[in-house]
Chains A and B, each alone.
Chain A
Amino acid sequence: MASVSVEQMGDGPKPKSMVRAKRWDDEVENAYRFQTAGYRDEIEYKIIKKTEAERWPVGPGYVKKLQRRDGTFYYYNRKRECQDKENLHALLILILSVPYVRLFYNLIGEPRRKVIVFL
């Protein structure tokens, strides 16, 4: 099994590649919410804000409230907000952190840890 060296700079693991999302699911929805607030994904939000994102206690547990970098707050609905037309511009970015390196090579073609990015 090939090994992969992952750069872990002070602000967390860096993305290695990206794949375009084909359809909507819960992960796409959450990533959409982080992206509209100006973050790459949940990992970046935790690093910058030093706290977990607040989520709805019911259902799939989508993100409920995020604080932007300028200090203002974005609030999101408990139901789906990302429409299908947004999915066409979604990109999947692979985040490889150390615990997931070996797992990734065990699951070739099926990313284990991904972030959806919207252009």
Chain B
Amino acid sequence: MSTAACQSHKAQGFTLKANMKNSKVIGPPTAGAFLERPAKPTAFRKFYERGDFPIALEHDTKGNRIAWKVEIEKLDYHHYLPLFFDGLCEVVHPYEFFARQGVHDMLEHGGSKILPVIPQLIIPIKNALNMRNKTVICTTLKVLQHLVISGEMVGEALVPYYRQILPILNIFKNKNRNSGDGIDYSQQKRENIGDLIQETLEAFERHGGEDAFINIKYMVPTYESCMLN
């Protein structure tokens, strides 16, 4: 028996070659939806290395904390807040810590200064989520939850931008770990992406006003309301 008869050729589906004898149809290549994208150089890192930020890193015995050289209330939020949000893409210390803690402090103490800056925050948020890096996504989701409660009308101001930031959440929504009857410690540490996305969408719905749910449902069809029914 000739060896040629035993050899099978690999072929893509729905091609003439696939219909030949001894051809083995292979599946389509993966689309790479969960594939991590490399981080691009951020404006945050550039400004940090130039010393343009009014912050200093303090290594105390309790952990790291930001010391602000200027009072947060006196900062120009239009200039600094988008820069700090841009730093959410960072994964390297100390950039990652400064960005995360800086965003937290500015949102905590911003009050009414946050609302006018919302349109400038969307691109940095979208860039951070599009990296598809687990740590960056978790950090960004926590920042989004903080953002919607940071000031009045901020949740409603985010509604027109759902179509830019929710598609990634739709991709990762079912990324839960099936540990059987074991304990998932990532839930306690709030690192489970699926649960974080559910929490974030619920926060959007609670603070987004009347149109929030329908807009979320349009982008994330499997989401169910936490306020209706």
Contacts and interface: CB of A to CB of B under 8 A. Distances in A.
Contacts of A73: 67-72
B108 interface: yes
Nearest to A77: B108
Interface residues of A, number: 13
A74 B67 contact: yes
B56 interface: yes
Contacts of B70: 73
A36 interface: yes
Interface of A: 36, 64-65, 68, 70-75, 77-78, 86
Interface residues of B, number: 14
A71 B60 CA distance: 17
B56 A74 contact: no
Contacts of B69: 71-73
A92 B165 CA distance: 49
Interface string B65-79: 111111110000000
Contacts of B71: 65, 73
B15 to A, nearest CB: 61
B224 interface: no
B191 to A, nearest CB: 18
8 contacts: A36-B60, A36-B62, A68-B67, A71-B69, A72-B68, A74-B67, A74-B68, A77-B108
In the complex, the 8 A-B pairs of residues with the closest C-beta atoms, listed nearest first: A72-B67, A73-B68, A75-B105, A72-B69, A73-B71, A75-B109, A72-B56, A72-B68
Given A73-B69, A75-B72, 9 more contacts: A65-B109, A70-B67, A71-B69, A73-B68, A74-B68, A75-B66, A75-B108, A75-B109, A77-B108
A65 B73 CA distance: 11
A60 B60 CA distance: 26
Of listed A36, A65, A73, A86, residue having the most chain B CB within 10 A: A73
A64 B105 CA distance: 11
B68 A75 contact: yes
A64 B73 CA distance: 13
B65 A36 contact: yes
Contacts of A86: 62
Contacts of B105: 75
A74 B65 contact: yes
Nearest to B105: A75
A93 B67 CA distance: 27
A72 to B, nearest CB: 4
Contacts of B56: 72
Contacts of B72: 73, 75
Contacts of B68: 72-75
A5 B181 CA distance: 65
A71 B69 CA distance: 7
